């Protein structure tokens, strides 16, 4: 039984369709990310779930109750925006208590909620400060504390980490995920950052053109993408068009390669992750090629090899510089299990 069910949600702005045919079932306590490029409809979807935008079509059901027509404050959801939306003339405590005041709690209960929320985001002792007296990361924590203080059933996060620098963002991913687990709070995160979605989510809904292209665990989407968009959007991949020859072989250019094909004939698209390819000296077998470029990225080498299938990108985390040079003749090897093959029709979905 899903806790939050989104059924056939759509949003039109005049003639423009921003979201269409959006279905998602979120379980209680689950962390789900809406991941996709700018303009794919993530924020519009989140705003409809929060109640800030009326859907053109569809229903939102929370714990068995249709909440589509409820006002935002009646939905029991905490929202954290990209801009944090803190009131600059209010202290941290006043910012957090703002959402509680409408709930008519006693002073004692309110004080406890504020202090608990501040402790949760590790901001004890900073309640009397104004937002301008805080760092970006601390402001973001206040916004999270404010959303959590109302003890929401669902936490909605709209790119809350995007204003932080890369290192702080990584720390917040870990911290935010720990808080979410500790509270067991059902959470939906909107992001265009793949790493953010992969590190934090139980499941990711990859969005494209206002629809979900694929929804699954991060690992399943990475290893078994179900359409071209998900394959290319999540991580890097080598993509080839070819023809299935059997359930075990595909032909790309003039070469027949071992690969698990979903069909025994017809056009297919073949995907191979850069880190699944091994580079051997020429003459030791494998697909022959010539190293065109070598890039050192600290934690890995990125190698571009020219082959009969076209240019192939390879990432080698453990390679030593001396082992490879531009212009080297090499052989490329991989396991057929690491090749993903979709029919042309599957690939063009989503
Ligand atoms: P981003 O990551 O850039 O925030 P997004 O995936 O969240 O992108 P949305 O903000 O949901 O995208 O917007 C989806 C599409 O709907 C965009 O093309 C946007 O221009 C359009 N759109 C959003 N709000 C409105 C509006 N009020 N009127 C008209 N078009 C809108």
The reported pTM is 0.90
- Hey, which of 35, 41, 207 would you mutate to test ligand 1's pocket, going by the most ligand atoms within 8 Å of its Cβ? 41
71 Cα–ligand 1 center, Å: 21
- C-alpha to C-alpha distances, 49 to 71, 176, 200, 290, nearest whole angstrom: 11, 21, 20, 52
Q: Are strands 301-307 and 287-296 parallel, antiparallel or unpaired?
A: antiparallel
Question: Has residue 320 got a pLDDT over 70?
Answer: no
Residue by residue, DSSP assigns 293-305 as EEEE-SS-EEEEE
Mean pLDDT of the chain: 92
User: Residue 284: which H helix or E strand, with range?
Assistant: none
Q: What is the pLDDT of residues 220-254, one digit of tens each?
A: 999 999 999 999 888 899 999 999 999 999 999 98
Q: How far apart are CA 226 and CA 212, in angstroms?
A: 11
Contacts by 61-65 with C-beta closer than 8 Å and gap 24+?
61/4, 61/5, 61/6, 61/7, 62/3, 62/4, 62/5, 62/153, 62/154, 63/3, 63/4, 63/153
Please compute the mean of the pLDDT values over residues 108-119 and round it to a whole number.
88
Q: What is the pLDDT of residues 66-85, one digit of tens each?
A: 999 999 989 989 999 887 78
41 Cα–ligand 1 center, Å: 6
47 touches ligand 1 (CB under 6 Å) = no
The helix/strand count (H/E) of the chain reads as 9, 20
Q: What is the pLDDT of residues 9-18, one digit of tens each?
A: 999 999 999 9
Question: Has residue 319 got a pLDDT over 70?
Answer: no
Question: Has residue 135 got a pLDDT over 90?
Answer: no
Complex prediction ipTM: 0.94
194 touches ligand 1 (CB under 6 Å) = no
User: Residue 64: which H helix or E strand, with range?
Assistant: none
Question: Has residue 31 got a pLDDT over 90?
Answer: yes
């Amino acid at each position: 039984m899903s806790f939050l069910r989104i059924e056939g949600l759509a949003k039109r702005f005049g003639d423009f369709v921003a979201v269409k045919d959006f279905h998602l079932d979120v379980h209680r306590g689950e962390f789900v990310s809406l991941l996709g490029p700018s303009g794919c409809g993530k924020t519009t979807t989140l705003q409809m779930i929060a109640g800030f935008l009326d859907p053109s079509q569809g229903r939102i059901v929370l714990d068995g109750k249709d909440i589509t027509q409820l006002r935002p404050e009646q939905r029991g959801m905490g929202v954290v925006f990209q801009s944090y939306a803190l009131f600059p003339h209010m202290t941290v405590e006043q910012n957090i208590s703002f959402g509680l005041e409408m709930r008519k709690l006693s002073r004692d209960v309110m004080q406890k909620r504020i202090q608990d929320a501040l402790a949760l985001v590790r901001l004890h002792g900073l309640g009397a400060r104004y937002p301008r007296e805080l760092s970006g990361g601390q402001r973001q924590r206040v916004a999270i504390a404010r959303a959590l203080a109302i003890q929401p059933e669902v936490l909605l996060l709209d790119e809350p980490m995007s204003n932080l620098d890369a290192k702080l963002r990584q720390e917040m991913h870990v911290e935010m995920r720990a808080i979410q687990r500790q509270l067991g709070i059902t959470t939906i995160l909107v992001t265009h950052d793949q790493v953010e979605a992969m590190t934090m989510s139980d499941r990711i809904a990859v969005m494209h053109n206002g629809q979900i292209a694929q929804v699954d665990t991060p690992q399943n989407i990475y290893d078994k993408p179900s359409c071209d968009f998900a394959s290319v959007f999540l991580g890097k991949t080598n993509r080839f068009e070819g023809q299935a020859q059997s359930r075990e072989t595909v032909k790309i250019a003039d070469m027949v390669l071992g690969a698990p094909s979903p069909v025994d004939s017809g056009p297919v698209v073949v995907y191979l992750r850069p880190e699944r390819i091994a580079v051997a000296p020429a003459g030791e077998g494998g697909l022959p090629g010539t190293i065109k470029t070598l890039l050192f990225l600290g934690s890995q080498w990125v190698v571009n090899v020219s082959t009969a299938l076209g240019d192939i990108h390879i990432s080698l985390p453990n390679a030593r510089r001396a082992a490879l040079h531009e212009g080297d003749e090499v052989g490329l090897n991989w396991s057929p299990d690491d090749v993903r093959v979709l029919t042309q029709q599957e690939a063009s979905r989503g």
